[in-house]
Structure formats: C-alpha cells, structure tokens
Structure 1
Amino acid sequence: MKKWTISLIGLLLAVVLTACGNQEAKETGTIRVGASQVPHAEILEQVKPILEKQGIKLEVQVFQDYVLPNKAVQEGQLEANFFQHLPWMETTNKERNYNLVKVIGVHIEPMGAYSSKYKNINELPNGAQVALPNGTSELTRVLLLLDQKGLIKLDNRDGDKTLENIQENPKNLQFKLLESAILPRVIKEVDLAIINTNYALQAKLNPVEDALFIEDKESPYVNVLATKKGKETDATIQALAKALNSPEVKKFIEEKYKGAVVPAF
C-alpha cells in the first residue's frame, strides 16, 4: 500500500511538472510584433494560422507612427516589428543608438505622388506646393524619386539627401515637410503630396490608380521584419520570418493589393 501511495504521488508530480512545462512552452511560444495597420498588420493576420500549427501564438500591436515600434522592440516590450524599410531602420539605429537588425525582407511599398488638383505632373504650376515626409530616410527617398521624374535635380554627394541637396528646381516647387501619417490629410491643401503606400491605403487611395507617379518594383526600400540584435536566431522569430516569406503570404499580397504592395521574395 505504501509503495502504491509513493508511486501515485510520483505520478501526480510528473503530471504537474509536465503541465507546468507545457504552460511554459506555450508562454515562450508567444511572439509580440508591432506593425502599421495597412498592409503590415493585415499581412500578419495571414501568418497567424501558419504559426498556430507550430504552437506559436502571434500577438500584433498596431502603431500609427514610425517611432514607437522601434522603441518598443529596443526596450523589450515587443519581440519584433514589421513596418519599416531597411534605410529607416539603419537611420533610427544611428540617431537613437539602437541595435535593431533585419531578419528578412517581405515586400515593397512603392512611394507615390498624389494630387486632388492635377492629373499629370506637367500640369504643376510654377511655385506649386509639394508636401513631403520629414523623416531622414523618407525625405532622401522622395527627393531621389522627384529627381528621377525630372522635377528637381540633386547634387552627386553620397549619403542622405535634404532640401539643401537640390541643385535645380525649374518649377520653383515649394516644399512642406510633414509627419508621414499627416500627408493624406493635406492633399486638398497642397498641389502635390508624396505619400507612403501604407498611409495611402489607409486613406482609401489606390497607389496604382490614383498616384500621378509611383516608384517601380526595383525600389531598394524593402520592408523588413526587424528585431533586437541577438534575437534574430530565436526559434519563434525564425518561424515568423519563414511564414512571412511563404507562398500563402505571397499570394495574399498579390491578390489583395494588386501591385500597390509588391512581394520581395
């Protein structure tokens, strides 16, 4: 009887320890990711079922700005984020002394130019007001795009570009620098606004149909899954990276956004 009691206690202890282990595994199998609402959070929703089959719970926290998602990862409040391209992340690391790293590239969001007044850039009048994003890497990106379209001419100096790098401005364009999230709201107040695709989509703008011009698919500004240095090899991070580059996600991006967002894999 005594032996049976000891055996029963041992069995119950084993069950308890197993339950605790399973609970711990479940907890360590949760990954918290910060994302912009469109298209990043929408893409992550497609990833959830893929990860659930592997016992990983994906929690998505939506942000409306480009600063807090990196801060949250740097400070350990989130395991990763998915909202930015590589130049933005590298600039943030430099400016804020962060140590974020790219895990994998996912898609390209072509930057587009929008106007409620004109249908063609040739219609832009002399002295037209043009609204641009004020982030360092974003401003560089749009100035290079305006240079490519012949609206301005930049100097040949390497590195980030500012308005001071404009050598020629034949239409005497007047530039207004604003937070990226505000740009869709000022379209009617300016002649032209250069807007990130995620904010354009949130404002019900179709980059393919509504933009006067747009970056092509060869843009180097690939949106990436990012995490804090040292975490990029974690099993949950790698599982998320693999899921984001899966055939299911590629099909979703192509069918959902119809060229406004382009898979980079």
Structure 2
Amino acid sequence: MKLATPFAVLAIASSLAAGTALAKDTITVGVTPGAHEEILEEVQKLAKEQGLDVEIATFSDYVVPNQALNDGDLDLNSFQHVPYLDNQVADRGYDLKAVGKTIITPMGIYSEKVESVDDIPENSRVAIPNDPTNGGRALLLLQAKGVIKLADGAGLKATPLDIVENPKNIEILELDAAQLPRVLNDVSVAAINTNYALDAGFNPIEDSIAIESPDSPYANVIVARTEDAGADWVKQFVEIYQSDEIRSFIENTYGGAVVPVF
C-alpha cells in the first residue's frame, strides 16, 4: 500500500516500544518520487514474500521525511545522501543513523536553451537546489564543468558566496529542488537531482548537458532512528534492498543513470 503524503507528517501507529530489536510485521518507509519510490516498490514485493509488509510514504520535499522519521511517524526512510543526512543531524539535532547504502544518482545540468555548458550566455540565470548540501553539490558540479570557480576549501557545503571566479557573470538562483524541472524555461540551465529529473521525464544520461561523476561522495542511504539501527527488522529490510534481485532491477531499469552501491 502506498500512502501519498506530499507535505504533511504521517501519523502512523507503532506496534513496538522504542529501542527494541523485536521483529516487525509491517514497516513504513519514507521516499521521494522517482527512482527511490520505484526501487522501493520492488523491495516491497520481495519483502512481502519474506513476511514483511512495507508501506510506502511518498514526500514531495527533502525536509519532512527526516522530521517524520525522527518523530516516530516513519520506521525508515530512503531518499538522501550522506552529506545531506549529516547536515540535517547537525542542524536539527535528529537522532538518526545510516544503516545501509543504496544508490548514487549523479546530479545533472539540464537546459531547454543551450546544448553545452560552454554555451551558457553571459549574465544568464542558473538554478540550483536551495538546501545546503545539494546546493553545494550543484556548485561543485558547475565548477567541475568550468562555469565558475569556488574558493579553496569551500567543499561540500559551498554557497554562492564562495564563488571567486564567475567569468560569465551568471546569476545563481536557489530554489526548492523539486521545483527545478519546472523552471527550465525561465533559466539558462538548472542543476537537478536525478530523482526529480526522472520524475519529470528526463533521462539523465541522454538529456543532461553535463553530469556528475559516479564516483562522487553522494551515496544514498537507508536511515533509521539510532535506537532502532540494530533491530532485526532493520537488518531484514536492508538485506532485501541490497539483494541481487534489486541490484538487477536498478541496472536493467535506469541504464546507468542510477547506480547501485551495495
């Protein structure tokens, strides 16, 4: 069963006391649209065969799934990379822990107006995600493609203030990550996370004008509350996700746009 929850936190009753490692018959896992949701639907089928019911809660942003998990309204989530999780834990005080790697979805640069980053016009607008880690990721991608240069040491948390060379005088627009595919007609290019690109009908390999290297540090992870990290049902879910069946599904479905890292 899928629970559509665009913005609101779900109220989901738990059958276990917090911190126990007892088995669960039903768990609820939060995801974002696109590859994360599609892969989890396959995990759901395999889990059912093993006596574990997985309910899918789909969120339209990156903020609520961690809040919902921390508050106990989800059992797990699977939508974020490690730098984003680390930033959320540091900034919001969440007691969350990564329990297993899933995929890398290389960020791409997309455009309706130019065919190469070399063709980005002077004084044009470039859209990037407005959350700190994905914004920094987009700026690093723009730097890797020669569009800008960042200050030494800016690292994964780079912001537009760290731009020290901007030869085309581009204007950086920081927007909600989910909205970026919808603004392509209004900007020269946009750096878009693959889950949102896929959800908008783009093929990152074929449709992006530049794409991140797959050996980037942005491996996505399954996340649990720290108190549940060692629970048997968590281990069971991770084993199902990291099975050969799911690896084959990812490799056969996404053609390199989504890469398993388990």
Query: RMSD of the alignment, in Å?
Result: 1.4
Q: Report the Cα distance in structure 2 between the residues aligned to 1:53 and 1:235, rounded to whole angstroms.
A: 17
Deviation at 1:220, TM superposition (A): 1.0
Give the TM-score normalised by the residue count of structure 1: 0.88
| Partner secondary structure for residue 234 of structure 2 | helix
Match among 80, 86, 91 for residue 90 of structure 1? 86
Query: Does residue 196 in structure 1 map to residue 193 in structure 2?
Result: yes
Report if the CA contact (8 A) 2:203-2:257 is conserved. yes
Unmatched tracts of structure 1, length 5 or more: 1-25
Per the alignment, residue 138 of structure 1 pairs with 134
Report if the CA contact (8 A) 2:23-2:233 is conserved. no
Query: Does residue 172 in structure 1 map to residue 201 in structure 2?
Result: no
Q: Report the Cα distance in structure 2 between the residues aligned to 1:49 and 1:184, rounded to whole angstroms.
A: 30
Q: Report the Cα distance in structure 2 between the residues aligned to 1:138 and 1:196, rounded to whole angstroms.
A: 8
Q: Report the Cα distance in structure 1 between the residues aligned to 2:236 and 2:110, rounded to whole angstroms.
A: 38
Letter in 2 for 1:161: A
Per the alignment, residue 213 of structure 1 pairs with 210
Q: Report the Cα distance in structure 1 between the residues aligned to 2:142 and 2:117, rounded to whole angstroms.
A: 11
Deviation at 1:27, TM superposition (A): 8.8
Query: Does residue 231 in structure 1 map to residue 234 in structure 2?
Result: no
Query: Does residue 70 in structure 1 map to residue 69 in structure 2?
Result: no
| Partner secondary structure for residue 84 of structure 1 | strand
Alignment deviations for residues 102-159 of structure 1 (CA, whole Å, 9 cap, x no partner):
0111100110000001111111111121001010001111111111111111111255
Per the alignment, residue 4 of structure 1 pairs with none
Letter in 2 for 1:136: P
Unmatched tracts of structure 2, length 5 or more: 1-21
Query: Does residue 126 in structure 1 map to residue 118 in structure 2?
Result: no
Query: Does residue 52 in structure 1 map to residue 48 in structure 2?
Result: yes
Identity in percent: 42
Larger Rg belongs to:
1
| Partner secondary structure for residue 34 of structure 2 | helix
Per the alignment, residue 103 of structure 1 pairs with 99
Q: Report the Cα distance in structure 1 between the residues aligned to 2:152 and 2:120, rounded to whole angstroms.
A: 26
Q: Report the Cα distance in structure 1 between the residues aligned to 2:87 and 2:143, rounded to whole angstroms.
A: 22
Give the TM-score normalised by the residue count of structure 2: 0.89
Per the alignment, residue 184 of structure 2 pairs with 187
The structure 1 segments of at least 4 consecutive aligned residues displaced by more than 3 Å after TM superposition are: none
Deviation at 1:202, TM superposition (A): 0.7
- Structure 1 residues 175-184 or 50-59, which shifts more? 50-59
Matched length: 240
Deviation at 1:49, TM superposition (A): 2.8
Q: Report the Cα distance in structure 2 between the residues aligned to 1:27 and 1:146, rounded to whole angstroms.
A: 46
- Structure 1 residues 150-159 or 176-185, which shifts more? 150-159
